[in-house]
Amino acid sequence: MQANSSKDPLHGVTLQKIVEQLVDYYGFDTLAELIKIRCFSENPSVKSSLTFLRKTAWARKKVEELYLRTIPKFEK
C-alpha cells in the first residue's frame, strides 16, 4: 500500500511553526508592514498572534500565503 502524500505544502506544518519562522526571518516590524494586522504591530507576541490567527480566517490565509512565498528563503 502507498503512503498518503498530500500535495498541500502546508500539510503537517503547524500555525505556531509558521508564525515562529516568519518572526525569526522578518521580525514583527517587517511582518506588520507586509501584513497589516494589529497582532503584528501592537504589543506583538507569538502567543497573541496565534490567538488572533486561529479566530480570523482571512488573516491566517495572508500569513500562510506569506509563508509559502518565503519557504525558499528559509531553505537557503
Query: In terms of residues, how long is the chain?
Result: 76
pLDDT score at 30: 96
The more confidently predicted of residues 57 and 6 is: 57
Question: Could you say which DSSP state residue 12 is in?
Answer: T
Query: What SS3 class is residue 3?
Result: coil
Question: Could you say which DSSP state residue 2 is in?
Answer: P
Write a three-state SS string for 34-75. Answer: HCCCHHHHCCCCHHHHHHHHHHCHHHHHHHHHHHHHHHHHHC
Which of 13, 4, 6 has its CA nearest to residue 64?
A: 13
pTM of the predicted model, to two decimals? 0.85
The more confidently predicted of residues 74 and 26 is: 26
pLDDT tens, residue by residue, 15-31:
999 999 999 999 999 99
pLDDT tens, residue by residue, 35-64:
999 999 999 999 999 999 999 999 999 999
pLDDT score at 7: 84
